[in-house]
Amino acid sequence: MSATCANTPLDRPIVLKRQLGVWACIAMTISPIIGSGIFISPKGILVNVSGSVGWSLVIWILCGVIAIAGALSLAELSTMMKKSGGMFTYMLMAYSKLLAFLLIFGILVLIGPPANALVSLTMATYFLSPFVSSTCVEIPGSAIILLAIGVNTLIVVLNIYSVKWSYRLEIVLTSVKLLGLTMIILIGIVRLYQGHTSSFEDAFSGTLQAGNVALAFYAGMFAYSGWQLMPTVIEEIENPGRNIPIAIGSSVTLVTIVYLLTNVAYFTALSSEQLLASPAVASDFARTTIGEWAWMVQILVGLSCLSSTITATFAAARTIFVSAREGLTPEILAMISIRRLTPVPAIIALHVITLSMMAFNDVYALLNYLSFSTWLFTGIVISIVPYWRWKYPNIERPYKVPIVFPILFIVCSLFVTCLSLYSAPRDCGTGIGVLLIGVVIYFIFVYWRNKPMWFNNAVSHTTHFFQKMLMVVHQEKPTY
């Protein structure tokens, strides 16, 4: 297919353009972090610390510290390597093609689509909550799934249509979600002033078990997850050496403070037992505190999840795009639209897998399912920081993180990963089994070069078919 067509200006190169400034970077960092996690994880943390309010708040603080350590470590790698793809690119450049392939395979099967599905289902639940009578036991599952599919499809269309409109909407929605959480925090402050402190009496009661603490960290780090996404689009960021460290450092610190204060606010209206029994923590908090205006909080939660899904789709599609550009996934995924200059095939592939993940009924099983893989791969990627400090001490580093940060993150990653194997062996075993399948796929489709002619011809014809149907081509020049 020709690289240009009648509808494409001849003087415009077909590449992914640098158009994301510092505010877009901040929005892209905050948005995926503050998604559904702050509305799901309070229950997931509390149940694993024996209902202890004090220990749950400690877990929130520790998870924030770990997230800051990991995020700043990733900032060093991103400003040093200067290629999009995020953790996939760093794994490929530092370790091996096999590990990089397993990471992208994990992103396609264990991390990206499950996270998108989880956030989309939560979003649909909160959007539907104001329209369901308080006498109903629960919202029909089919309605939740249909709305999640519909909204997710609209997000995909937006990501395909325009990068500019995607990040503009992202900035608006990020501002809205911060205002919503600020409202919850202010209500909590007022209730504390009024003397609603019964939940904080004997706050550290209960017995902790090491395995359950690991699962509590799972839930907490899910709420903080998303700081890994922004470096995946570094080739589309203006002045990345400056904007990435600023965006990551300020955003994750702000989120940590907001999360802690939000959980304190929850406990001013809900006891430990009420929070554990709540299917939607923010909704029950709103009903208790502002009564008939509770629907406002429910809509704000839905918009928060919507914002998170937009960024997650945007970033994950770029990682898939880069993996295909490096030859580890099908060639068609490395192409971009000649009209919209967006990676259309990668976005569509991600969407198809996400829809299949929405068949899961148990949100917390899905959380454990993706968290094991996320911790494992993120820990391996962050280990590149001390490894390259030793191997390449003189390489240019526009931003250099204090070495204690990556070491802290690596230790925590090993602790949680090992304990999770003991505490949730079936979920972790599922993840390991899928990764072993990925090893087989790697040796058949990537490592094995001398494939039969009929196979190569079939792949070539399939690539050309989708290329013509989607009107996509390879980039005309490198952007790194």
**What is the residue-level pLDDT of the chain in tens, covering all 480 positions?**
444 444 444 456 677 777 778 888 888 888 888 876 677 668 878 888 888 888 999 999 999 999 999 999 998 998 888 888 889 999 999 999 999 999 888 888 777 777 788 778 878 888 887 777 554 556 777 888 889 899 889 988 988 988 788 878 888 888 888 888 888 899 999 999 998 888 888 888 777 777 678 778 877 887 887 888 878 888 888 888 788 888 888 889 999 999 999 999 999 998 888 888 876 687 788 888 888 777 887 788 888 888 888 888 888 888 999 999 999 999 999 998 888 888 999 999 988 888 887 776 555 555 555 667 777 888 999 999 999 999 999 888 888 999 999 999 999 888 878 877 776 777 777 778 878 898 999 999 999 888 899 999 999 999 999 999 989 988 877 666
- CB within 8 Å of 244: residues ≥ 6 apart: 25, 75, 78, 79, 230, 231, 234, 237, 399
* Architecture of the domain spanning 22-327+342-423: Up-down Bundle (1.20)
Task: Give me the residue spans of the domains in the chain.
Answer: 22-327+342-423
What pLDDT does 7 receive? 45
Spatial contact of 122 and 34, defined as CB atoms under 8 Å apart = no
Helices (H), 195-278: 210-224, 240-269, 272-277
Q: DSSP characters for 102-162? A: HHHHHIIIIIHHHHHHHHHHHHHHHHHGGGS-TT-SS--HHHHHHHHHHHHHHHHHHHHH-
Distance CA 467, CA 330 (A): 12
Buried/exposed code over 64-95 (b: 16+ C-beta within 10 A; e: otherwise):
bbbbbbbbbbbbbbbbbbebbbbbbbbbbbbb
| Partners of 20 in beta bridges | 237
Spatial contact of 59 and 378, defined as CB atoms under 8 Å apart = no
The radius of gyration computed from the CA coordinates of the chain, to the nearest angstrom, equals 22
The strand ranges marked E within 228-372 are 336-337
The three-class DSSP label of residue 61 is helix
Tokens standing for residue 385: 């920081």
CA atoms within 13 A on the CB side of 208: 18
DSSP 8-state class, residue 20: B
Distance CA 388, CA 395 (A): 9
CA atoms within 13 A on the CB side of 228: 26
